Amino acid sequence: MSDIVLVPGMCHGGWCFADLAEELRRRGHRVLTVTPTGVAERAHLLHGTVNLDTHIADVTALMAAEDVRDAVLAGHSYGGMVITGAADRLPERVSALVYLDAVVPGDGDSCWALVSEQERAWYLDVTADGVATRPLPFFDPRATPHPLASLLQPLRLTGGLERVRRRTYVYAAGWDGESPFTATYERLRDDPGWRAVALDGGHNLMRDAPGDLARVLDESAREADRQG
């Protein structure tokens, strides 16, 4: 079975994938969850220079340390920035990318540039020291402030990402209100280079639809394995 690396969105740690990871392991996969530097149980590492590159390095260092190969990288929300950068740095270790209701950046994009004015207003609700965005009130009680620099830093790609051919977008169709990811889903749904899937759940698909999400990730891993 495959190695599956799960990267959370803003303010969350690897613990948000607990149910999903359990189901994927039951299906036979090795699952590694990432908590980005400065967030959740690693909040004590938060400082002003923690940025997107730091979070990409969190993933690539884990992949190297665990000898991860032919991996499926899955990122939720902001995690789409991170898995894109990690795949670009280590394309020889990545077989597929899965974006979980996430941003899909290109070279030079930042998370700030890809989101709506409403989300930018949230980003600017920072902690007293000015280095982190506060979690929203409805987040998991374990959520912590998120490094602001990681949202502002543009992603720089080197061309390695082009070697990763299998890409899936998982769209949460059950938002309470308008989803900021609808345009991304509709664009990729018509792109022959992508598989686009809509699931009946809110933005936190790991909580709302862990079984369906595990099925999509399992299918992505098996397809990547068949194609070598």
Q: What is the CATH number of the domain that holds 206?
A: 3.40.50.1820
Q: Residue 146 in contact with residue 39, Cβ under 8 Å? A: yes
Q: Tell me the pLDDT band of 226, cut-offs 50, 70 and 90.
A: confident
Give the model confidence (pLDDT) of 15-34 as tens digits. Answer: 999 999 999 999 999 999 99
Give the model confidence (pLDDT) of 80-99 as tens digits. Answer: 999 999 999 999 999 999 99
With a CB cutoff of 8 Å and minimum separation 6, the contacts of 129 are 48
Give the model confidence (pLDDT) of 43-53 as tens digits. Answer: 999 999 999 99
Q: In this predicted structure, which of 53-62, 73-82, 110-119, 174-183 has the lowest mean pLDDT?
A: 174-183
Does residue 132 carry a pLDDT above 90?
Answer: yes
Backbone angles phi, psi at 191, to 5 degrees: -95, 120
Backbone angles phi, psi at 31, to 5 degrees: -120, 130
Is the pTM value of this prediction over 0.75?
yes
**Nearest partner of 83 among 28, 176, 160, judged by Cα:** 160
**Nearest partner of 144 among 127, 158, 130, judged by Cα:** 127
Render 70-126 in DSSP notation, one character per residue. Answer: SEEEEEETTHHHHHHHHHHH-GGGEEEEEEES-----TT--HHHHS-HHHHHHHT-B
Q: Known catalytic residues? A: 77
Q: Give the total number of structural domains in the chain.
A: 1
**Nearest partner of 151 among 204, 78, 100, judged by Cα:** 78
pLDDT at 228: 59
Provide the domain limits for residue 90: 3-226
